[in-house]
Structure 1
Amino acid sequence: MMRVDVLERRLRERLPGLAEEHGVPGVAVAIGTGGEMVEEAAGVLSTATGVGATVDSVFQIGSVTKVLTATLVMQLAGEDAIDLDAPVGTYLPGFRTGFPEVTVRQLMSHTAGFEGDIFTDTGKGDDCLALYVDLLAEVPQLFEPGEMFSYNNAGYSVLGRIVEVVRGKPFDACMRDHLFTPFGMTHAANDPYEAILHRAAVGHLGGMPSPVWAMARSNAPAGSMLAMTPRDLVAFARAHLADPSLHAMREPQVTLPDIGWGTAWGLGWELYDLPGGPVFGHDGNTIGQSAILRVDPARDVVLAILTNGGNPKPLMKEISGWVLELPDEPVPDPAARVNATRHTGTYVSDTSATTVSEDDTGRLWLDRVPLGIAAEVGDEPFRTELVAWRGDALLPVAPGHGPVAFLGDDGEGKALYLHTGRADIRADARADVRADVGADGRNRG
């Protein structure tokens, strides 16, 4: 990593131009190394108001929230108040009765196996998590718990409900009492009512301020509401480095598919095996706002970047490259071949339908249509050619999209899942999964 004084100058000189180059309305960055902190901000919090972004401005952190939720669970485990390997039903009686039992650990590591992108709004009251968890009673079970990784937002709302049941108080109060206050997170906000007390960023979609600031409160433990400064995220990560009782969250629980993410997932943390050594962190995306948090424990470096629209990935990559040694971008393998018979078909989830097809020249194409909440928050349909990369992992030709992996077998030589972080199941197999759940909620498969 470059010297702190050089890094500070580079951020000050380069950040405004990076934001403008990539259409990012506002951005804030904090880098902590040893006892030093480098902070910088550029742009505006809203193009409608023109209020400037500052290092004290709060941005939504999206799914980075999941690591905070996992930390609340880990604290309870450290107090012997919960057992990570106990079934969820131990703490939430009746949870998904009739389906295979899921453990707390499987929720934390995204291996629970049930459909995970459920964003039903159950209101703004303190009962919203309880009502939400009840909705999961008949959500399809896509694979056996523990079988593989599939990113699961719903599972983290369940974890939030476990926290408030065991603590005996609302999830927001648990966040403030057990994380914000003891970790010194002075600008962390649970919801819009708290965020408005600070300079708050507004997300932007298509270059315009989003008409909605946050998603449903029922998804708050998964990342629908929480906002803070990059400095707060650095403080949170530093608490993790300092507290040995939290280090187990970095231990690998499941290996990730070959999709260009990290190499494994821990208990909340995504784990990266970078050229410079192991790093852990998490990304977050919500309505027009994006965040990354990266922690290099060997060098005692923490990086947090928060943005409110545009195309933040190139900006985040350049700044990350000043701090971390990043891997090379994946490139097609001209010697590899695509198995069209195995890959073609339609794969579905509650948030997308993806069709993989072969044209007359033997080229493979991916067409994705957003569904449900994904369409509502502005996701656009897209089409790209897929080319060979490594085995069952293929590369989209269109920029900005990472590798996709084809996993499992449907019994006829075709892949059962298209994996992009979520395991989207082949459409006819999903119909079978739904048919396997009878009127009494029991899984027949």
Structure 2
Amino acid sequence: MKKTLTAILAAAATVTLAAQAASAQASAPGDRKAVVQRNLDELTALSQAGAVVRVVQDGRTWSARSGTAVWGRKTPVPLNGHFRIGSVTKMIVATAALRLAGEGKVQLDGTVDTYLPGVLKDGGKITVRMLLRHTSGLNSDASNTKYLTDGALKHRYTHVEVEELVKLSDDSPRDFPPGTRHSYSNANYYLLGMIIQKASGKPWAEEATRGLGLRATFYPGDKTKLPRPHARGYEWVDGKPLDITRLNTTTAHAAGGMVSTTADLDRFIERLLSGKVLKPAQLREMLDVTAPPPGDQGDGEPGLGIFRSTTPCGKRVYGHSGGISGYATYVASTLDGRHRAVLSLTTASPKLADPAQLTKVINSLFCG
């Protein structure tokens, strides 16, 4: 889920162009909406995709949409539509793990072996904190390639047990010794889902959404259909779009399998950063960011299941990006919650792989 479009979206979210940095100024919400709409229209004209955003700025909420919900038709993208959120799932899962830590059910410095004995060959050296921050050294390329990138179409209806996803990673060479570096890996969150389930005694997704007040966020697992309304997602195959809206997301599990809406994701990030979900100590842990490795922008500066980036106009925002076949998502907020944004894209033409227009859209959500 960090391959292809998701990596591009993440890069777009953190690219700071000198010209933009020099000229970008904070603008009034009404002015911002016009700029965002123009940039969205340019994006969907280029990519032939659909897009919807929800922005909250200083107490005012507005939405914008562009493109089409169905390839080849003039069908508006639903403002309240459901979509697959990909790796934004990780931010919700990390919140659950930290909430359990605040309740004394999970120890951040406890090892994988403490909760899942024998699941990893070096589970006694990898801690929950390392999983949350992506410093475990676990590599998820094997599972990504088999189920989420090269094999995504072949396995779009395949049920996969999370133990298989973990084993594919465990059988792969480690990227580095545990705790010595940062490298994004889905395997970390496959394991966190298992730990959450073990510690809480509930299915990981049920525990992950407990008490969040979310109305449309869930893990569909083997249910391949999206609830209505929704825009359709596409993969570009043999020079034309293939509808891949129906998908079994056990291949992504707790690393990227959830469904949500712009309203729910906005509600989540607002409640999280306002301290309504985590105890102060755990929220501080989550927001304690570190510098990424040289040359690795990724989503920005990594915290525990969340990233901080700086916009061209100087605003620091916290959030996550995500992608899975057919859909890409970006969620971010200033620390005080006064300015928040959620973006959902349905993917289609490979022209969307140009990060320049995505950068314009994402920057305009927070800057003039």
TM-score by length of 2: 0.77
Aligned to 1:333: none
**CA–CA separation in structure 2 for the residues paired with 1:49 and 1:193:** 26
**CA–CA separation in structure 2 for the residues paired with 1:40 and 1:288:** 20
| Greater strand fraction, Structure 1 or Structure 2 | 1
Seen in structure 2, the aligned counterparts of structure 1 residues 50 and 195 have a Cα distance that, compared at 3 Å, is farther
Conserved? CA contact 2:216–2:261, under 8 Å: yes
**CA–CA separation in structure 2 for the residues paired with 1:157 and 1:288:** 21
Seen in structure 2, the aligned counterparts of structure 1 residues 231 and 315 have a Cα distance that, compared at 3 Å, is farther
Describe the superposition over 1:143-185 as per-residue Cα deviations: whole angstroms up to 9, x where unpaired: 1001111110111111011111111122232234x1xxx3333
* Equivalences for residues 253-268 of structure 1 within 5 A: 253=290, 255-261=292-298, 263-268=300-305
Seen in structure 2, the aligned counterparts of structure 1 residues 136 and 233 have a Cα distance that, compared at 3 Å, is same
Q: 2:56 aligns with which of 22, 32, 35?
A: 32
Question: SS state of the match for residue 160, structure 1?
Answer: helix
Question: SS state of the match for residue 87, structure 2?
Answer: helix
Seen in structure 2, the aligned counterparts of structure 1 residues 215 and 145 have a Cα distance that, compared at 3 Å, is farther
Letter in 2 for 1:210: D
Residue 104 of structure 1: CA displacement?
0.6
Conserved? CA contact 2:226–2:246, under 8 Å: no
Q: Does 1:111 align with 2:135?
A: yes
Residue 68 of structure 1: CA displacement?
0.9
Aligned to 1:269: 306
**CA–CA separation in structure 1 for the residues paired with 2:67 and 2:95:** 32
Runs of at least 5 residues in structure 2 that lack an aligned partner in the other structure: 1-25, 148-154
Aligned to 1:308: 346
Aligned to 1:22: 46
Q: Which range moved further: 308-317 or 137-146?
A: 308-317
Greater RCO (Cα-Cα under 8 Å, separation 6 or more): 2
**CA–CA separation in structure 2 for the residues paired with 1:195 and 1:38:** 28
Question: SS state of the match for residue 304, structure 1?
Answer: strand
Q: 1:199 aligns with which of 202, 213, 229?
A: 229
**CA–CA separation in structure 2 for the residues paired with 1:226 and 1:200:** 14
Question: SS state of the match for residue 142, structure 1?
Answer: coil
Residue 115 of structure 1: CA displacement?
1.6
**CA–CA separation in structure 2 for the residues paired with 1:172 and 1:44:** 31
Aligned to 1:249: 286
Q: 2:331 aligns with which of 279, 293, 299?
A: 293
Conserved? CA contact 1:264–1:272, under 8 Å: yes
Letter in 2 for 1:300: R
**CA–CA separation in structure 2 for the residues paired with 1:267 and 1:138:** 25
* Equivalences for residues 339-358 of structure 1 within 5 A: none
- The CA RMSD over aligned residues, in Å, is 2.9
Seen in structure 2, the aligned counterparts of structure 1 residues 323 and 99 have a Cα distance that, compared at 3 Å, is closer
Seen in structure 2, the aligned counterparts of structure 1 residues 248 and 237 have a Cα distance that, compared at 3 Å, is same
> Percent identity, aligned pairs only?
24
Letter in 1 for 2:293: L
Q: 1:279 aligns with which of 304, 309, 317?
A: 317
Aligned to 1:164: 197
Q: 1:236 aligns with which of 268, 271, 274?
A: 268
* Equivalences for residues 175-194 of structure 1 within 5 A: 175-176=208-209, 178=210, 182-191=211-220, 193=223
Aligned to 1:365: none
Aligned to 2:174: 141
Aligned to 1:7: 32
Aligned to 1:433: none
Aligned to 1:390: none
**CA–CA separation in structure 1 for the residues paired with 2:213 and 2:357:** 28
Q: 2:360 aligns with which of 318, 323, 326?
A: 318
**CA–CA separation in structure 2 for the residues paired with 1:306 and 1:230:** 8
TM-score by length of 1: 0.64
Seen in structure 2, the aligned counterparts of structure 1 residues 263 and 42 have a Cα distance that, compared at 3 Å, is closer
| Greater helix fraction, Structure 1 or Structure 2 | 2
